[in-house]
Amino acid sequence: FVRLQTLNYEAKYSFPQWLGINFTGGINGMYQINKNIDATDFPIPDYRLFDIGSFLTAKKEINKWVISGGIRFDNRMIQWKDFFIRGEPMTGFTKQVMYPDTAKSSIAFPAFHQQLSGLSGSLGIVYNISNTLTVKGNTSRGYRSPSIPEIGSDGLDPGARIYYIGNRNFIPEFNWQTDIGIFLNYPNIDFQVELFNNNITNYIFLQKLYNANGQALELVPGNFTYQYKQGSAQLFGLDAAMAWHPKTMPWLIFQHNISAIKGINTDNESLKLLGEDAKYLPLIPPLKTVSRLRLNLFKQKMAASEYFFQTEIETAAEQNNFYAVDNTETKTNAYLLINTGGGFNIVNKKDIPVCKISLQINNLFNIAYQSHQSRLKYFEYYQTSPNANSGIYQMGRNLVIKAIFNW
C-alpha cells in the first residue's frame, strides 16, 4: 500500500530562425515522492526523486535533405532516510515505524543519497530521393538512470512471486545506437524497413539466485529471488511494414508488420565465469509478425456510417535464445493468435459523427500461450506442473467493446 505522487514539468522555447536553422531549447523533468501507507510488505523504501534535464535541438532543410540533431544533459537526485520496520505480535504482520517509536525495530532500507547525471545527443539525416523514395540515417548516444527498484529493491512483489534485490552501487546506462531506414510510398502500396544496432554499457538486467546446494534461493518461502546485475550488451534487429491500399478498391486495406531483435551479452567477465548460458540477454522478444485485413464500408444507412470489419493474425516464433544462467529463463514456445472485430460511426442529422462504436474479439480460438517477456511465466506454486508447463498463461479469449463520444 503506497502513495506515489508525481509532478512533471516542462518549459521550452522555439528561437527565431537563424541561417535557415530552427532551434528549440528548454528544460523538463519530474519530481516524485513515494510513501508507504499502512503496508505490511515493503519492496521499496519511501523516497524522494528529482529529475531535471536541459536540451537544445536544431533542424535545417536543404533542398531534398533534412538534417536534425540535439544535445541533452540530465541530472537525477535520489534520497531516502533510514526506513525502520517492526513485527507486531498482535497481528503477526510487519509495519513501518518512525522516530521516536523505533524500539525493537530494524532498518529495512539504510539511508541513501545519490546523484546521477549523463550527456546524450543525436544527429540524423533524411534524404528525399524522389516523391516515392526516402532514406534516413541516425546516430545517437543515449542515457538512462537506474530506476528506484533497480537501486533500492529489497522485498517481495507478491504479484510476481519474486523477491527483488537492488544494487545501491549502480551507475547509469549509456549506449551508442545507429539506425537506417528506407521508405517507399506508391499510390497503391507502401513499404518501410528500418535496421538498428545498439551497444550498451552498464546494462541492467535480472538474474535468478541459487543457494550453495544448487536450489533456488527463497528468502521468502515459496517465492524465487532475483537480483539486479549490471554488464554490457548489444541489441540489433529490424522493423518492417507493408500497407496495400489499392485505389481501385478504396474499401480494402491490408497491412503486414514484422519485428526482429536479438540481444547479446557482451560482458567478457560474466561470459568467462558463466559460459554459454550467459550468451543472450533476458526478456528479449522473439520474431513477431502482425497481418491485418480491414474492410471499410462508407455507405451511410439510417443513423450509422463508416462500417468496418477487420481480421488480424498475430504470430510469435519460438524463443530459443534466452538467458539460461541458473534457469533464470527457459525456452518459450511459438504461438499464433487470431483477432477479429468491427465497428461503425453514429451520426447526427448533419452527418457529423457523434459516437464511434467498436467490438473486438482477441484470441478468438482461446489459444493457451505465454509471452517470453512475462514475469508470470515463472509463477508456479506446484512442485510438479499439472500441464507440463510452469507459470501462468496470457489472456484467453476476450471481448472488448469500446464507445467514443464526440462532445
Closest CA to 198 of 150, 171, 232: 232
Pairing, β 252-265 against β 21-36: unpaired
| pLDDT, tens digit, 9 for 90 and up, residues 329-373 | 889 999 999 999 999 888 877 777 788 999 999 999 999 999 999
Residue 388: the pLDDT is 59
Residues 361 and 401: their CA atoms lie apart, in Å, by 9
Residue 61: the pLDDT is 95
Residue 349: the pLDDT is 75
Residue 383: the pLDDT is 59
| pLDDT, tens digit, 9 for 90 and up, residues 276-286 | 899 999 999 99
Residue 203: the pLDDT is 94
Residue 299: the pLDDT is 63
Q: Give me the amino acid identity at 106.
A: S
Residue 372: the pLDDT is 94
Residue 210: the pLDDT is 84
Low-confidence stretches of the chain (pLDDT < 70) are 298-304, 380-389
- In our burial notation (b when 16+ CB lie closer than 10 A, e otherwise), range 273-305 reads ebeebbbbbbbbbbbebbebbbeeeeeeeeeeb
| pLDDT, tens digit, 9 for 90 and up, residues 144-191 | 999 999 999 998 887 777 889 999 999 999 999 999 999 999 999 999
Residues 273 and 217: their CA atoms lie apart, in Å, by 20
